[in-house]
Structures are given as structure tokens and as C-alpha cells.
Amino acid sequence: MSDIAVRVDHVTKSFRMYHERNQSLKSAIMRGRTSVHEDFLALDDVSFDVPAGSTFGLIGSNGSGKSTLLKCLANIYYPNKGAITHFGKIAAMLEVGSGFHAELSGRDNVFLNGSILGMSRKDVTRKFDEIIDFSGVEQFIDQPVKNYSSGMYVRLGFAIAINVDPDILVVDEVLAVGDAEFQEKCFQKFRDFKAAGKTVILVSHSMPTVQAMCDQTAWLDHGVLKAAGPAKSTIKAYLKSLNVEPD
Ligand SMILES: Nc1ncnc2c1ncn2[C@@H]1O[C@H](COP(=O)(O)OP(=O)(O)OP(=O)(O)O)[C@@H](O)[C@H]1O
Ligand SMILES: [Mg+2]
């Protein structure tokens, strides 16, 4: 087993941005084959390692590339250059409701989402009560999830992700929509993960949370890695760049 959980190796991800949209068939024909676009670099040659067993924070301003990096890690996007390698089973919670089907009940979504995350039907059945119990949405489990509040989505999604029993748990900003009680429950889970030698990667805009939870952090700024290392110094440098005093 490697002492690295995730290796981000010279990752570049660009998106094609079109400046003019064809408003009509005539304008499309008039323009012919030429299209006006530029490549926008969401991640620009980013490299860092996430040590196995660490709780690792990913920080940076809106649009700096954090979610793009996590999507590359979860194989939702593919980097144009470079590679992300992970060692061990991964479970990612990226966006509120991702992996859920709006028309299906909470119960059916537990089975659907569990199987997307690599659990067998038997596994899900065995862990079903624990998942529901952790989520706290028991009363609504047979309602279609389109009627759930954002917090309820996140509760159920997180409860499934942790019960997949991954080696690496990846959580984008989503926990912020949970209430204080649920957030504390999640943080306790992160501590349990750490005690079990597992790796947690989390994105948060709450620096006190990152400071309290994370050993190490990476700071992205406009797709460029500004710093990676001990949480305290990275957070300090990030806040300094924003002219915000740390707590
Ligand atoms: N599928 C896409 N197509 C085009 N541009 C995209 C796509 N996904 C992300 N981007 C762009 O990449 C940049 C980085 O976005 P990303 O979602 O990674 O930021 P972020 O750091 O997660 O921000 P936030 O803190 O707001 O969640 C943004 O400018 C965004 O518009
Ligand atoms: Mg994001």
C-alpha cells in the first residue's frame, strides 16, 4: 500500500468557450466553418500529493478550479494533460443531488446511488438501516427526492457515501447546506475516518472548518496551484491574498 492516497500529476484541464452563439440558421451559414472560441484554463499544470490517512483541504476563491479538480479525480472530467491517480476505493460527493434520480423515492435512490458507488444490492440491504438512521430522513424515505430540501439531499447522499466504506472520501462544498447538528455529525465521521487510517479530501470556504479538520491543504487560484502543505500556513497565505485576517 502506498503512503500516497492521491497523486495529482501536472494536471491541465481546459474548457472551450464560445464567444458568439449562432442566433439564427442564417448567421450560422454566413459564418461557415469558423467558430469563435478560446480555450479557458480551469486547471493549469497542477501537481500535488495527498498523503494516505490525511484529511486534506482544497481551498481557493469561487471559480478557482476546486470542483473541476475533484471531477477529474472522480473520472467525470478527463484532464487534457497530466493524470490523477488514486490508490484505494473512492467515494465522492460532489454536488447536491448528483447521482440521485428526482422522480424516485429516497429508498430507491439509496439502492441506485449505492450501486453507482460500487455497492452490491446485498451490501445496500445490509447497511440500509444505518444509512437511513445517519441521514435522519426516515419519515420521508418513500417520498420522491424531488420534494426533499437541499439539506435532506445532502444528508442522504453523505450517509450513502460513508457507508460505501471507501479508502478515500471526497466531499465538495455540499456539507455547508446541512444544519449545525448534521455538520458536527459529519465532522465526527471525518475524525473516525482519520482514526481508521483513511483519507478525506474536502473543499470548503469555511477556513475555521478547514483549519480544524485538515492536516494539509492545497490552494488554487485561477487554476494555478499557489501553495500546498501544512493547513495553517496555506490558509494564512490564502487569507492574506484576500486581505482577510485569519480568526
Ligand atoms: N463544464 C464546464 N464548461 C465550461 N467551463 C467550466 C465547466 N466546468 C467548470 N468550468 C469553469 O472552470 C472554472 C472553475 O470552476 P470550478 O467549478 O472548478 O470552480 P470552484 O473552485 O469549484 O468554485 P466554487 O468555489 O464557486 O465552487 C470556472 O471558471 C468555470 O466556469
Ligand atoms: Mg466548486
pLDDT tens for the chain, 247 residues: list them: 479 999 999 999 999 988 766 677 777 777 776 667 888 999 999 999 999 999 999 999 999 999 999 999 999 999 999 999 999 999 988 887 778 999 999 999 999 999 888 889 999 999 999 999 999 999 999 999 999 999 999 999 999 999 988 999 999 988 888 899 999 999 999 999 999 999 999 999 999 999 999 999 999 999 999 999 999 999 999 999 998 776 6
Distance (Å) from CA 183 to ligand 1 centroid:
25
| Cα 72 from Cα 176, distance rounded (Å) | 22
pLDDT of residue 21: 67
Within a domain: residue 246? no
Within a domain: residue 129? yes
Distance (Å) from CA 126 to ligand 2 centroid:
33
> Atom 31, ligand 1: which residue's CA is nearest?
63
> Atom 27, ligand 1: which residue's CA is nearest?
62
Range of the domain at 96: 4-241
Ligand closest to the CA atom of residue 95: 2
pLDDT of residue 116: 85
Nearest atom in ligand 1 to the alpha carbon of residue 64 is 21
Q: What SS3 class is residue 140?
A: helix
Within a domain: residue 214? yes
Residue 144 belongs to a domain with what CATH number?
A: 3.40.50.300
| Kind plus residue range of the DSSP H or E element containing 127 | helix 121-135
pLDDT of residue 126: 96
pLDDT of residue 118: 84
Going by their DSSP bridges, the two strands 224-230 and 216-221 should be labelled as antiparallel
pLDDT of residue 51: 97
- Give the pTM: 0.90
| Cα 140 from Cα 117, distance rounded (Å) | 22
Nearest CA-CA partner of 100 in 70, 126, 135: 135
pLDDT of residue 59: 97
Ligand closest to the CA atom of residue 38: 1
> Atom 25, ligand 1: which residue's CA is nearest?
62
pLDDT of residue 97: 75
Ion ligand 2 — residues with CB under 5 Å?
Answer: 67
Within a domain: residue 247? no
pLDDT of residue 117: 84
Indicate the top mutation candidate among 43, 61, 66 to test ligand 1's pocket, ranked by most ligand atoms within 8 A of CB: 66
| Cα 209 from Cα 214, distance rounded (Å) | 8
Q: Is 204 in the pocket of ligand 1 (CB under 6 A)?
A: no
pLDDT of residue 173: 87
Q: Is 46 in the pocket of ligand 1 (CB under 6 A)?
A: no
How many domains does the chain fold into?
Answer: 1
Within a domain: residue 144? yes
| Cα 212 from Cα 25, distance rounded (Å) | 56
| Cα 137 from Cα 148, distance rounded (Å) | 9
